Amino acid sequence: MALVGVFSGCGNGDTLERFDGPTMGSRYSIQYVKHRTGPAPAAVQAEVQGILAEVDRQFSTYRSDSDVERFNALAANSCQVMPAAVLELVRVGEQLSAQSDGSYDLTVEPLLNLWGFGPQSREEKVPDAEALALVRQRIGHGHLRIEGDRLCKDAAVEVDFNSIAAGYAVDRIAARLQALGIDSYLAEATGELKAVGHKPDGSPWRVALEEPRDDRQVAERVIEVNGYGVSTSGDYRKYFEQDGQRYSHTFDARIGTPVLHNLASVTVIHPSALMADGLSTLLLILGPERGWDYAEKHGIGVFFVLRDGGRFVTRTNDAFDRITKGETQ
């Protein structure tokens, strides 16, 4: 995810604390304003790391002992008791799948593996029609159902929460910081973030949105954020080319292939980092027209970057502009 926190020095009597570390195959970073009577920074860091470790144990597709991977290893017509968090995100995935007519789907992991983008991938290549047809029989949120505290499947589906798990983790961290009496912070995990309040000198948290370049990171636009989650999804880092065609890791689950439109990246601003995370992926899948119409219909603040020949052009809607200007209406 192409998001970078931009910060300045401190003022007043409060201090600006920072820490970071590895998580989910990437990095996390926390910046927050410590009041004189607040918890010790080491205690705050331990709380954050505990949340991230729990999310990894539940949702990681890169460790065989995670709750998700144990479920993925089950045969068709099987059930497994799942943590409440996993069931919550299954319901979120069902909602996003329904709202995108099945284009967004949590069960695309076999497709990712087949095309060379998943955790069990061997080679990046366009699969043959027979292999694709076989895998597509295992794709679809309709193969999942929740029975009490169990997640069940009627086909050998494999779920992948990478499009919403980091946003969920950020919301969990934000809630924990608030519970600890920390009311000003910028919490980020794998590029998904949420910013609340202000820095000690009263200046806002600022976030740089990245221009989609394959060779280096370039700040395209810097925005001020207070009380919102921010997520960017793009197709410009994970892709391969074959026979002159570019194939990205962003899939339309309805047809089982990567999207081929000219929408390069989508940034979403939403009160929930979880929803910003999922919606940025959903809109990227839907593309420049359907995605824009969806955002306008649901009042979602968006920043689109589109390919236009050999250059990129950007587009924002009124909801995005109002939020980044601090307007409530």
Enter the tokens of residue 51.
């949340």
Say whether pLDDT at 1 is over 70.
Answer: no
Q: Residue 218: pLDDT band by 50, 70, 90 thresholds?
A: low
Please tell me the predicted confidence (pLDDT) of residue 10.
Answer: 45
Note whether 302 and 283 are within 8 A (CB): yes
Q: How far is it, in rounded angstroms, from Cα 193 to Cα 219?
A: 16
Q: How many CA atoms lie within 13 A of 251 on its CB side?
A: 30
CA separation (Å) from 77 to 24, 142, 288?
A: 30, 13, 38
Neighbours of 246 (CB within 10 A): 13
Q: What is the pLDDT of residues 101-158, one digit of tens each?
A: 999 999 998 888 888 877 776 678 888 899 899 999 999 999 999 999 999 999 999 9
Q: What is the pLDDT of residues 175-211, one digit of tens each?
A: 999 999 999 999 999 999 999 999 999 999 999 987 6
**What's the average model confidence in pLDDT over 152-171?**
96
Dihedral angle sign, alpha carbons of residues 123, 126, 128, 129: positive
Domains and CATH numbers, the chain: 3-33+182-324 (3.10.520.10)
Highest mean pLDDT among 3-17, 46-60, 224-238: 46-60
Query: Nearest-5° angle of CA 262, CA 268, CA 270?
Result: 160
Q: How far is it, in rounded angstroms, from Cα 303 to Cα 266?
A: 6
Three-state secondary structure of the chain: CCEEEECCCCCCCCEEEEEEEEECCEEEEEEEEECCCCCCHHHHHHHHHHHHHHHHHHHCCCCCCCHHHHHHCCCCCEEEECCHHHHHHHHHHHHHHHHCCCCCCCCCHHHHHHHCCCCCCCCCCCCCHHHHHHHHCCCCHHHEEEECCEEEECCCCCCCCCCCHHHHHHHHHHHHHHHCCCCCEEEEECCEEEEECECCCCCEEEEEEEECCCCCCEEEEEEEECCEEEEEEECCCCEEEECCEEEECCEECCCCEECCCCEEEEEEEECCHHHHHHHHHHHHHHHHHHHHHHHHHHCCEEEEEEEECCEEEEEECHHHHHHHCCCCC
Q: Residue 213: pLDDT band by 50, 70, 90 thresholds?
A: low
Please tell me the predicted confidence (pLDDT) of residue 141.
Answer: 94
Enter the tokens of residue 305.
């970057």
Over the chain, what is the mean pLDDT?
Answer: 89
Say whether pLDDT at 90 is over 60.
Answer: yes
Say whether pLDDT at 239 is over 70.
Answer: no
Say whether pLDDT at 2 is over 70.
Answer: no
Q: Residue 236: pLDDT band by 50, 70, 90 thresholds?
A: low
Neighbours of 287 (CB within 10 A): 21
Say whether pLDDT at 244 is over 70.
Answer: no
Residue 216's contacts (CB-CB under 8 Å, 6 or more residues apart) are none
Q: Specify the pTM.
A: 0.90
Q: Residue 4: pLDDT band by 50, 70, 90 thresholds?
A: very low
Q: What is the pLDDT of residues 42-84, one digit of tens each?
A: 999 999 999 999 999 999 988 999 999 999 999 999 999 999 9
Please tell me the predicted confidence (pLDDT) of residue 212.
Answer: 63
- What residue type is assigned to position 93 of the chain? G
Say whether pLDDT at 19 is over 60.
Answer: yes
Among 72-76, 238-242, 266-270, the least confident range: 238-242
Say whether pLDDT at 231 is over 70.
Answer: yes
Please tell me the predicted confidence (pLDDT) of residue 6.
Answer: 43
Q: Residue 259: pLDDT band by 50, 70, 90 thresholds?
A: confident
